[in-house]
Chains A and B, each alone.
Chain A
Amino acid sequence: MTPSVGWLTLLEKELLRFWKVSFQTIAAPVLTALLYLLIFSHVLESRVSVFGGQVRYTAFLVPGLVMMSVLQNAFANASSSLIQSKITGNLIFVLLPPLSPLDMYAAYVLGAMVRGLVVGLGVFLVTLLIAPGELHLAHPAIALAFAVLGSAILGTLGVIAGIWADKFDELAAFQNFLIMPLTFLSGVFYSIHTLPPFWQAMSHFNPFFYMIDGFRYGFFGLSDISPGISLGLVAVAAVVLAAIALAMLARGYKLRH
């Protein structure tokens, strides 16, 4: 018996789970992002100026939509897998084997990251077809770093929400009253420099803002805030949330009674 096989199997199961319903888990969010792009770019292209006019609005929008898709789908994957397993009772199959808290954390978060990144890549490729020539990657490694860290953070938040919620209603509240507003108010559709000073200041308290802004820097080499600061804050958030999720799993919070 090889210990590492256990968590790799749980990861494989998580990947199979969303792959088997890929229309719902991959194709649908790609289509949603595409609709956002078509509508917002059509309506706002000539009305909104970003980065002092150095970047067209449609091009500005694409990285935001890609990152939003990465974040939302990473959260959805981990949280829905856990809450479904808890409510249907089949989480027992994961709790009975000799999987450590770290095994469970790694498998659920990596599964979430893969789904988030696959959807993000899908959105990116489709937007390349829709708006060819609009985008080039100035710093691909930085973009990738933010995408990986962002998906890890939201995957971890998904684990925390999935463990905390006892019913779908509570998970929906977490998603609709926390994740969704933070995502939409993070600068996906606008640069925070277009906001009044108060809301600009408030945006700095939104951790999602740093993920979106840093990811966008990877495309344009331009950002609202220094990408180094963003990367540092995002990395700290990833570590803090991972510690919280691991503590919950180690205590068996709402899992082992």
Chain B
Amino acid sequence: MNATPSSVPAVEVAGVAKRFGDVQALCEVDLRVEAGEFFGLLGPNGAGKTTLISILAGLARPDRGTAFILGHDVATDYRAARRALGVVPQELVFDPFFTVRETLRIQSGYFGLRRNDAWIDELLHHLDLTKKADANMRSLSGGMKRRVLVGQALVHKPPVIVLDEPTAGVDVELRQSLWAFIRKLNRDGHTIILTTHYLEEAEALCNRIAMMKGGRVIALDTTKRLLARFAGIIAHVSAERLPAEWTSRVRRRDGQIFYLALDDYAQLEALLASFRRDGIEVEELTIAATDLEQVFLRIMAGSGTSDETRVPALEVPES
């Protein structure tokens, strides 16, 4: 199953707006995902991620703007656009009349593919469903149903795959095997677009990330640059007081524990030297590096703005 990367973007969204009643679900969203990327789409509930995916999949129609899958307009050239796209929906849905194999065969047929059993067998193997191939969908556990959803999205070998929170409620073992399979698909050239609430997954898997809030893309960059933009460490210092020159660095205080934002590890030496100079005893010192979750929280805290460069006050996680 190889999908050759090309110069045509896997996904291109321009000026897309969508309103549901009083709710402006998407506001003039522009987004471009290159072929072969492992792209993360993050944001809190109601950010507009699923609406955007629905528009790409043809499940919703934008009020304004255009969306393309591998150069195919999702509205005017919907057949080609949908053939190029596989979507794992967020909801755990299934047709109770059919077995796992029947479900995959039917889905394959919808995409014009008969006699697709060799690939269906391979999918069943990769998703660890071979033993359940002839079981009715109703008899499967939630995790297994989720795997069938992944199989249905992949059954027509789409070059662009959208996974809308595919590991929600899935056990750790399955999550690991699922990601190994998805990584392999990405290595084979498939474009992966992932939404997830597990930010450590996005950090580990995605090359590039868009963060959405209130129907807008409020941050869009490579994962490395996003992490670097808010690079730094948080020092948790337990002491009676702070040397005067470090008070401006305090982001939070919890009794005698001071949470200090440092630019890098090199500043630790200067910090400790100040304590020694002033004769203040440091009872305990712990440090934490910035991760995607902190970046996410800081960007989300800057709500109501699309200014990507604005850096809001640092949120210090509970220790």
A contact residues vs B (CB 8 Å cutoff) = 1-6, 8-10, 12-13, 16-17, 20-21, 85, 88-90, 92-100, 252, 256-257
Contact = CB atoms under 8 A, between A and B. Distances in A.
B51 to A, nearest CB: 9
Contacts of B54: 257
B173 interface: no
A93 B111 contact: no
Nearest to B137: A90
Contact of B59 (A6, A17, A98, A256): A256
Contact of A100 (B79, B80, B156): B79
Contacts of B302: none
Which of A8, A9, A21: most chain B Cβ within 10 A?
A9
A90 to B, nearest CB: 5
B94 A6 contact: no
A13 B61 contact: no
Contacts of A13: 98, 106
Interface in B74-130: 78-80, 82-83, 85, 87, 89, 91, 93-98, 102, 106-114
B252 to A, nearest CB: 43
Nearest to A88: B93
B91 A96 contact: no
Nearest to B79: A98
A85 B20 CA distance: 22
Contacts of B91: 89, 92
A16 B89 contact: no
21 contacts: A1-B113, A1-B156, A4-B112, A5-B112, A6-B109, A9-B106, A9-B110, A10-B109, A12-B106, A20-B97, A89-B93, A92-B89, A93-B93, A94-B110, A96-B57, A96-B58, A97-B110, A98-B78, A256-B58, A256-B60, A257-B59
A38 to B, nearest CB: 33
A95 B83 CA distance: 12
A6 B82 CA distance: 13
A139 to B, nearest CB: 38
B83 A1 contact: yes
7 closest pairs, A vs B, by CB?
A9-B109, A1-B112, A97-B110, A89-B93, A98-B79, A98-B82, A5-B112
B152 interface: yes
Contact of A99 (B85, B98, B110): B110
B61 A1 contact: no
Nearest to B109: A9
Contact of B107 (A16, A93, A256): A93
Nearest to A17: B97
Contact of A16 (B94, B98, B112, B114): B98
Nearest to A251: B61
A96 B56 CA distance: 10
Nearest to B91: A89
Contact of A2 (B93, B96, B112, B156): B112
Given A16-B97, A16-B98, A98-B83, A5 B113 contact: yes
Contacts of A4: 112
Given A9-B106, A13-B106, A95 B89 contact: no
Nearest to A18: B97
Interface string B22-61: 0000000000000000000000000000000010011111
Contacts of B112: 1-6, 98
Given A20-B97, A256-B58, A93 B152 contact: yes
Contacts of B97: 16-17, 20-21
A95 B58 CA distance: 8
B94 to A, nearest CB: 6
A2 B80 CA distance: 12
Contact of A6 (B58, B80, B111, B152): B111
A96 B82 contact: yes
Contact of A95 (B59, B98, B109, B114): B59
A100 B110 CA distance: 11
B265 to A, nearest CB: 48
A78 to B, nearest CB: 15
A12 B87 CA distance: 23
A73 B84 CA distance: 37
Contacts of A89: 89, 91, 93
Contacts of B94: 88, 90
Nearest to B51: A257
B60 A97 contact: no
